[in-house]
Structure 1
């Protein structure tokens, strides 16, 4: 009774390391990076689940692909920039500081805002 095997303490140590490892905010960056690639490549058809979805993009196939290529690129750059900061400053990646959360969210919010600006330019006859 009360004796813990070295195998179970080792397993607990691994779990504790994974929970406390400074990769937690790198995970959403990786997911966003991977999810943005099909958008950039124009592989995602109009749908209500995945992509830069607005009333306009869902209603116009050409607009969908143009807006989503831009969105994919913008999200890829944002997640890539955050990933680089997390790799250079691993303490931010732990998710235990406001700085780390800002490193993740500010580029993503900027990317999404840029997508809406780009969509507005497309609606007003901007770049083709």
Structure 2
């Protein structure tokens, strides 16, 4: 009885579908790019090869969604500039998600410390 049960379990395990690897970005019906500009803005671009909706999400380090936009299935090209001046410095995650899978990108927002240049004006006075 035990032998029959173990054979059934092994057969069930061997016939179970194997989970495929996570979807690679090249297999998705869209491509996405993002970068931070010198003005502390994130430029986002999505180009789709199939008519399906894509959601753009921006998350902070606590995984809270701070920006969300859905690109309609009719819109094959999308570009946006996200103003980050009201956000704290740190690492953020951009996620481009469709029913086929997702692309995640890390972006770092860092403001440069403001420094005032030191200037001196020296006048040469003629010797008397």
Shared fold, TM over 0.5: no
Q: Into which bin does the TM-score normalised by the smaller protein fall?
A: under 0.3
User: Is the helix fraction higher in 1 or 2?
Assistant: 1
User: Is the strand fraction higher in 1 or 2?
Assistant: 2
Normalised to the residue count of structure 2, the TM-score between the two structures is 0.25
Greater relative contact order: 1 or 2 (C-alpha under 8 angstroms, separation 6 or more)? 1
- Structure showing greater Rg: 2
